[in-house]
């Protein structure tokens, strides 16, 4: 069976689209909170990632992340109260973090 030009073009376009989707990460969120009970939440607002919640112990605030990456022209903004003296974060996802 011989394919027409339109059929051949459609198959090629579909193959390229499926290939691009296969190489796109399933979850491309640069900063992702860990599901470990620390109650860390991350909300993106434009190029800013607002990080809230966490667990407080005295003047320390602890956050936990599955991944923590800050790409170029992005900001990780830790929101807390004035009595917080230290903000500590850990990354548990097993991959290296990058801050550019």
Segment 25-39, tens digit of pLDDT: 444 688 998 888 889
∠99-52-54 over CA atoms, to 5°?
A: 95
Classify residue 24 by burial, with Cβ atoms within 10 Å: 0-12, 13-18, 19+.
exposed
Phi, psi of 63 (to 5 degrees): -120, 155
pLDDT in tens, 59-98: 999 999 999 999 999 999 999 999 999 999 999 998 999 9
- CA distance linking residue 38 with residue 99, whole number of Å: 22
């Amino acid at each position: 069976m011989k394919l027409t030009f339109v059929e051949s073009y459609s198959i090629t376009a579909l193959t390229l689209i499926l290939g691009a989707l296969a190489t796109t990460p399933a979850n491309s969120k640069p900063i992702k909170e860990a599901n470990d009970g620390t109650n860390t939440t991350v909300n993106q607002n434009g190029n800013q990632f607002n990080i809230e919640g966490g667990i407080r112990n005295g003047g320390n605030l602890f956050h936990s992340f599955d991944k923590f990456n800050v790409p170029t022209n992005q900001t990780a903004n830790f929101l807390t109260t004035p009595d917080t003296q230290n903000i500590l974060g850990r990354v548990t996802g097993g991959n290296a973090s990058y801050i550019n």
